[in-house]
Amino acid sequence: MLHFDRRLLLNFDWAIILTVLVIAGMGLLNLYSATHSAEPYAAAFVRQLYFYLLGFAGIMVIISFDYRLFVTANYPLYITIILLLTIVLFFGNAVSDTQRWLNFGFFRLQPSEPAKLVLVITLASYYYRKDTGLGFTLKELVVPLLLTGLPFLLILRQPDLGTALMLIFIFISMTLFVKLKWSTLSVLIGACASMLPIGWLYLLKPYQKQRILTLFNPELDPMGSGYHILQSKIAIGSGMMFGKGFLKGTQVHLDFLPERHTDFAFSVWAEEWGFIGSLFFLACYFFLILMGLNIAVASRDKFGVLLAFGIVSLLFWQAFINLAMILGLLPVVGMPLPLFSYGGSSLLTTLAGIGILLNIRMRRFMTSTGD
Amino acid sequence: MKDHSTTLSSMQRTITRINKIDEAELFLLKKRIDFATYFVIFLIAILIIRLWFLQVHKGFDYGRLSENNRIRVLNIVAPRGNIMDQHGIPIITNRPCFNVIWIREDAPNPEIVIKRLSKILNEDISVLLDRIRASADNPRYMPLRLKEDIDWKTLVFIENNHFNLPGVRIEVLPTREYLHGDLASHLIGYLGEINKEELQESKGGIYQGGDQLGKMGIEKLQEQYLRGEKGRSLLEVDVHGFEQRQIELEDPLPGNDLYLTIDIELQKIAEEAMADKAGAVIAMDVNTGRILAMASSPPLNLQEFIGGISSKSWKSLLDNPLHPLTNKAIQGQYPPASIYKIISALAGLGEEIVTPQTVFYCTGSMPFGNRNYRCWKKNGHGAISLKRALAESCDVYFYQLGQKLNVDTLAKYAASFGLGQKTGIELENEKPGLIPTAAWKLKEYKEPWQEGESLSIIIGQGFDLVTPLQVCQMMTAIANGGIIYRPQLIERIVNIDDMIIKEFTPIADSRALVLPANLQVIRDALISAVNDEHGTGEQAKLEHITVAGKTGTAQVVHLSQNKDLADEEIPYKYRDHAWFSCFAPAEKPEIAVTVLIEHGSHGGSVAGPIAKKILEKYFNIPQAPPNTKQPKG
């Protein structure tokens, strides 16, 4: 039997759970507003609620064992996810020309979502094991590059540009976080500069941007992404300072706003709750990120630091890219807003990440108590 | 239970092992977390500033926009790439075409407007309503097309009355302009409205319902290069659907221009010469495999296909006995007839069954089994060598060769010249033809090969089937020393900035099974066939350029009741097909021309003059008066 230490409970981070609950509350309210007028989506609210309950149960499971178990479990997890990504390419359910879902009857799993978290665990374990403190050379980065590249290509094949890019962001964030040799860093910066969409998409002509995006992302509405972004901007902007009020958004209840309960969920929020509501949402999110980083700082174990940092960067980049896209700062790619967008796979993955953060937090004083 | 505890203890060990802390290193990592925190604050600040800009600074404007949210997106169709001949002379370009479109959301009283439109367009109301119903599933702000290509008068009328026609707009679309009518219609193909399946297949939202795309030929095969990229315009409209201002404009990117290998002058001559006949003409560059002209007669009427062909015209095309829908150059399969004797002779020389000096005796026929195999020349050629046998197309010479030549060996030589297989030209539905082997016969007919059949196939009858393009490809190989070039139709693809996007270089697919010396024998024989007194290809003889060529007369059916009739008395569908294939100049070959006339009777007399016209154009020789000499086989 695993011995359960009372100190674990003392170190349980209630503030994080509370913040997650507040964001969850906002997300569910918003989902209700975005879907209540359309009949086929009426069930979305209930489903999302179930996923939250399932996710919290998952958190309980994840905090019950020592997170350092992930160092041993990382490759089995990695191989499982690669298998799932391969299976989904061949047997997945095709929705609008993309192969993303595995159908389990009651639930369609989108393996690319947990793949993000598994990549964080894998890179954290790898850097933890290999790091000598002297900094990585380019040669030593070949393995993590391959570990990232394989799921990246599989997800790109689906095709799902947004999620694939997310893997690159995770890789860059975590690799920059562990020490690199200066020479390695300069080479990587050169390579990254050409890879970062922010960089290259603005160098290209509009039609080239369009071409690249439509190439990988068939989800783009045939009416053109400019239309979506404009409608999203109108929705957000028309919320003005105080918003139109819950269920009172006009933009969202007409057909103008695409994907209004998934990727564009925040547009609905901003329209109905205005600048004040948006600020409150950002504050909650910022608080969650800060606490996540704080967990990384507080951990006394290098694996814990790497893992916590990886999970926070996963949360942050998804949120930032989603919001920047909705606000018309970045081109449209498929990217959910964690904890807020409708979608079981994304939600469960995010909650599992939160569970791991809590786990690291709970065991920060257990570094030498391996009895 | 025991297993369980051992795994647990090994886990504990791992955990203890990884608990070593390197304080200095942790300190460094934590310093980087501080940096990450500032970075996060920086990015979140950007989001907040943007939110402020949209919601507070510009909030009022957006609020107004959302109140009467009437943003319309109009896609601007890109002009398709032009299609030119090898010298850059345009064959197909674009012209503007004015369509009437309808945006349901902008029309408060659709019934009245539709009624008015029906009068203006001179179109039945039910036709217009059908069109509207067909797009009923689309969002109400999506434009749908009511009538294509309206004339100038209607256009002006609608523009002047547009206040009475809310929701109605005029859309200007580039449409194909066929500068030379149906020229090269089988190669270029036609456009049509995208159908449901094509819409589902297309990725990346490149197409919408109502778009035109290539349905056949080069228009279809090179669609991705020709189509260009749509632009779009975001418009703000008022409650009546009238345009207030343009919010955003993204110009379309015109498609890429295609330069064909076709020489428009040769193509014209070829099509004119074939005007009253059914068949195919091909001219090919012998040193590259480039197609200089490819005509299939009768041509397709491309104008009929604009805006969708009616089922009546489609049926009449299908029922036409001259098969205008088939591109006979690549889809017509005919017995090669005497042209095949080139292969037979090369096989005989290659297998050392005959030498150039071997002489057989032709009495006008040869008995074999219980049949009498006849030469086209009733009185016989007498003692005849290989060269003369080819030039004068003596059948009996080849019957004797056929008795000694194995069917599979002959097939091997034919295949090495590309006969009986697709050439790989970039056009749809190319047919392979057929060169029989013993194994094929056993499989298809469950019977072994009969020796008598060898006598039929060696003169290119019986089971042998080839396409005119295969024959032309074979002739280029004879001319260029045995290289099988893949026939090519496109020279290069050039974008709007005159940059070459794709260039097509000659592809040498293989080498024919032939020795240079044997090839020379054949070339000499083909020169004799055109230039000597008794040659069968005299009709293609030119003044200052040596032409080398071979005639062929392919039997369609073997009806003894027809044998004594004059050509004109035989019913059209039972008349023989006429072949002529040649290259020139014989000393330094440049061009190969192959002509097939369906039911044209005699190769030399019908097909020969057409080849001659093309050669005259190619070598810039002024047209000579028609030759009136008696035709030969």
Confirm or reject contact between B627 and chain A (CB < 8 A).
no
- Is residue B50 a part of any domain in this protein? no
Q: Answer yes or no: do B61 and A237 touch at CB < 8 A.
A: yes
The answer to whether the beta carbons of residues B346 and B474 sit under 8 Å apart is no
Is residue B20, in this structure, part of any structural domain at all? no
Structure confidence at residue A368 (pLDDT): 44
Number of domains in chain A: 1
Q: Does B120 touch chain A (CB under 8 A)?
A: no
The pLDDT value recorded for residue B334 is 93
> Longest C-alpha distance within chain A, in Å?
63
**B30, A297: Cβ pair inside 8 Å?**
yes
In a domain, A337, yes or no: yes
**Higher pLDDT, residue A10 or B189:** B189
Do B101 and B126 reside in the same domain of the chain? Answer: yes
B388 and B488 co-located in one domain:
yes
**Residue that finishes a domain, picked among B245, B260, B275:** B260
All residue ranges of chain B with pLDDT < 70 are 1-22, 67-72, 139, 141, 203-205, 237-245, 306-308, 557-569, 603-604, 623-633
Relative orientation angle of helices A14-35 and A344-362, to the nearest 10 degrees = 170
Q: Where are the alpha helices (DSSP H) in B68-210?
A: 110-121, 125-134, 152-160, 185-188, 196-201
Does any CB of chain A come closer than 8 Å to the CB of residue B8? yes
B307 assigned to some structural domain: no
The domain in which residue A162 lies consists of: 6-362
| Amino acid A275: pLDDT | 94
Q: Is residue A79 part of a domain?
A: yes
Q: Which among B211, B244, B260 is the end of a domain?
A: B260
- Whether B37 sits inside 8 A of A68 (CB atoms) is no
Phi-psi domain of A266 (left: phi exceeds 0; alpha: psi -120 through 50; beta: other): alpha
Q: Are residues B211 and B274 in the same domain?
A: no
Q: CA angle B520-B525-B529, nearest 5°? A: 145
- Does A222 lie at the interface with B, CB-CB under 8 angstroms? yes
Interface of A with B in 334-363 (CB under 8 A): none
Residue A240 pLDDT level (bands cut at 50, 70, 90): confident
> Which residues, numbered 410 to 469 in chain B, qualify as contacts with chain A under a Cβ-Cβ cut-off of 8 Å?
none
**Nearest by CB to A302, which of B26, B60, B253?**
B26
pLDDT at A371 over 50: no
Instruction: Report if residue B48 sits inside a domain.
Output: no
Question: What pLDDT was estimated at residue B470?
Answer: 95
Please indicate if any CB of chain A lies within 8 Å of the CB of B14. Answer: yes
Contact B19 A241 (CB under 8 A): no
Contact: A301, B44; criterion CB under 8 Å: no
Window A:12-51, CB contacts with B under 8 Å:
none
**Final residue of a domain: which of B235, B260, B285?**
B260
Please indicate, yes or no, whether residues B514 and B458 belong to a single structural domain of this protein.
yes
Question: Are B277 and B237 found together in one domain?
Answer: no
Q: In the predicted model, is pLDDT for residue A16 greater than 60?
A: yes
Residue B229: closest C-alpha in chain A: A207
Closest CB to B55: pick one of A239, A329, A370.
Answer: A239
Chain A residues in contact with B62 (beta carbon < 8 A): 233-234, 236-238, 240
Both B341 and B256 in one domain: the answer is no
Find chain A residues with C-beta within 8 A of B60's C-beta. Answer: 240
3-state secondary structure of B200: helix
**B238 and B292 share one domain:** no
Give yes or no: residues B537 and B576 share one domain: yes
pLDDT value, residue A353: 96
- A283 contacts chain B (CB < 8 A): no
Chain A residues near residue B8 by CB distance under 8 angstroms: 2
Question: Is B334 inside any structural domain?
Answer: yes
Task: Answer yes or no: is A368 within a domain.
Answer: no
Give which of B514, B285, B530, B289 is closest to B391, Cα–Cα.
B530
User: Is there a contact between B231 and B76 (Cβ–Cβ < 8 Å)?
Assistant: yes
Spatial contact of B56 and A239, defined as CB atoms under 8 Å apart: no
- The residues of B that are catalytic are 338
Cα B605 to Cα B553: distance, rounded to the nearest angstrom = 10
In a domain, B323, yes or no: no
What is the number of domains present in chain B?
2
Contact call for A238 and B142, based on CB within 8 A: no
* B245 neighbourhood in chain A, CB within 8 Å: none
Q: Domain check: are B246 and B275 in the same one?
A: no
Residue B582's DSSP bridge partners are B549, B593
> Is B34 within the bounds of a domain?
no
Cα–Cα separations (whole angstroms), residue B85 to A68, A135, B122, B453, B617? 70, 62, 40, 45, 16
Q: Residue B141 CA to chain centroid, in angstroms?
A: 38
Structure tokens at A38: 């359309």
Domain assignment present for residue A370? The answer is: no
- Inter-chain touch B29–A305, beta carbons under 8 Å: yes
Our CA-based measurement puts residue B239 at a distance from the nearest CA of chain A, in whole angstroms, of 16
Subunit contact B25:A309, Cβ cutoff 8 A = no
Tell me the average pLDDT across A284-310. 92
3-state secondary structure of A139: helix
Give ipTM to 2 decimals.
0.88
Question: ∠ CA B76-B133-A34 to the nearest 5 degrees?
Answer: 75
Instruction: Report pLDDT for B574.
Output: 78
CATH number of B376's domain: 3.40.710.10
Say if residue B526 is in the same domain as residue B414. yes
Q: Are residues B428 and B364 in the same domain?
A: yes
What does the alpha-carbon distance between residue B476 and residue B486 come to, in Å, rounded to a whole number? 10
Percent of chain A whose predicted confidence (pLDDT) is above 90: 35
Given CB atoms, is A290 within the 8 Å cutoff of chain B? yes
Burial class (CB in 10 A: 0-12, 13-18, 19+), A5: middle
The region that residue B177 occupies, defined by phi over 0 for left and psi between -120 and 50 for alpha, beta otherwise, is beta
Q: A215 in contact with B at a CB cutoff of 8 Å?
A: yes
Instruction: Check CB contact of B54 with chain A, cutoff 8 Å.
Output: yes
CATH code, domain with B140: 3.90.1310.10
Residue A2, pLDDT above cutoff 60: no
The domain in which residue B241 lies consists of 75-260
For residue A47, pLDDT over 80 is answered with yes
Residue A302 lies in a domain: yes
In a domain, A1, yes or no: no
pLDDT, average across residues A206-233 = 57
- Is the distance from CB of B467 to CB of B433 less than 8 angstroms? yes
Asked whether residue B217 is assigned to any structural domain, the reply reads yes
B363 and B505 belong to one structural domain:
yes
- Is A369 inside any structural domain? no
- The reported pLDDT for the residue numbered B16 is 47
Q: CA B10, CA B17: separation in Å to the nearest integer? A: 10
E strand segments, B369-521: 371-374, 382-385, 483-485, 490-494, 500-503, 508-511
List, for residues B362-378, the tens digit of each pLDDT value: 888 888 888 888 888 88
Strands (DSSP E) along B14-148, which ranges?
71-76, 83-84, 90-102, 144-147
Distance between CA B601 and CA B603 in Å, rounded?
7
